[in-house]
Structure 1
Amino acid sequence: MWLYEGQTQYWGHVLTTRAGMWSTKASLELLAKISATYDVRPGGLWRTMADTTEDPVINGRAPLPWPSWQRNEDYYSEGQLMWLAVDTLIREASEDQRSLDDFASAFFGIDEGSMVTRTYDLDDVVDTLNGVVEHDWADFLDKQLHRREEGAPLEGLGRGGYRLVYRDYRTDFCKSFDAQAAQLDLRFSVGLNIATSGTVQEVMWGSPAFDAGLTSGALIQSVNGLDYSEQAIGDAIQAAQNGGPLLLTVKARSQSRTREVNVDYRGGHRFPHLEPNPGARLRLNEILASR
């Protein structure tokens, strides 16, 4: 699944940009959001990406109450980060003469026109990668698939010439994504993803919102005495940096009464961005460039 779905996720991102359907800027902003999602999720401390390939996908998918801790089919997007690491490593090791394009051609570009299913295993993947550039790919993949570490696997991002940073404003991509999804994504700061209605869609495990006792499904009715709105909670988070309150009036989904929740957070807004590493070769831009 980490190849079949993870690399598909990687190519979907790359090829959409190469084809001009996304701008390079939008593509980098999306990658920042994906990277930050795994950077703040603590679930990787106990559950490996490989283990998520055991998640039920046929008639078994169901919403999880704590996805940031439980993890769910992370072989898709964390798998995408892994294949970025592979692509940039191939490029670096070959002095930028070869890339994951060569792997795709050798691995997928066989038996043209044949409708016969061709299965594969880990050894086939490793052998094909070694045919592109020599490396201890078995060990590399094993470490990527079975890592239990805090934060996202960002070595591919670094070799691609970028680093993940957090700033106090959203990228254009995140603004557009939030508007389309009718939400406000505050997972990287206070630890909440909130629908425009004020309903909490996700609470990040171990975040300030989690410590305050908030759960998904709760309805935020007011912020510091003002009716809930994106503006109201945004202003409150900003003001809390200087000691202001972050007091939410919430109603649980299964209850009629309300309660007040004081969220202890002073970190201000944190939204993900990619920043070029000074003097680095921007391989990520080369990966995304049209052919």
Structure 2
Amino acid sequence: MTKRIKERRIRMSVYDGLNAANEHMLEVAKACAAAAAKAPTLTGQLDLRMEILTDDDLEPIIQVLETLGKTSAFQLHDASAFRTYKNKGILPPILLMGADLTKPPMWHCGGCGFSDCGEYLKYVSKNKGVGIGAYGPSCLWKVIDFGIACDHACACAAQHRAEARILFSVGAVSLFLNHLEGCSFILGLPIGPVGQFRWFDRMPWTKVLSYDQRMMVQMAGAPNLFMAFSGGGKPIIKTKPRWWEEPTFMKVEPDEEFIKAEAKGQAEVYEKIMKLAGVLDEDEED
């Protein structure tokens, strides 16, 4: 008697390649966190802390970036990208990495400018303040260690062929929204979405500003990259291909209108942060 052996076909689901790749970015973010934790620091005392934020957990950060973007093209860059990716359903996970960089290893090296770590700590205990997005002053050794850890996370993303770019803006906003409690400095690393140079070309920005506006932002943000010889005392900015014809000169002057707009924008940002952090009720007015 012959036995018939029936071959059982195992049916596999068909996945959309791009969707599957974007879903995989969360696993890449986990790998990046592992790489950062394994980074060979100099002091061995970094005490790195990390979180991975996804989906709706990113909305408060996006809202603050959008508020900052009213007066700063730097934050507008990031806000427009995140909002576009969320609207398209491809919002990437973000790996937050932070540490308390104000705690020295007690090596008394003097690199911070103080005679020893004790004098440094005395100063920090009375003068620990916030700059534009971090608390300080910081121990140089801890800054180096933190940079090493973040570098390893970025390298891991590159090894996985994932779109990524370390962002100061996301880290600063996360710090003010009480992520990674106890850290004096945080950086954010978006992992994805799948594409080509998404965090460098910033194509969503083209939908927010016109070409002329983008060019002005680039020239104002990095005038040295557009400057002709400045030794004559009236530096020319290369605003067009034939820039030497009807040249445009750089002028340094006060801007009271912008100062007022920036102060108003900062007040809006602080109010937004306090509401999102639960310090201020949503319907509470100034």
Q: Normalized against structure 1, the TM-score is what? A: 0.23
User: Structure 1 or 2: larger strand share?
Assistant: 1
Larger Rg: 2
Q: Normalized against structure 2, the TM-score is what? A: 0.23
User: Structure 1 or 2: larger helix share?
Assistant: 2
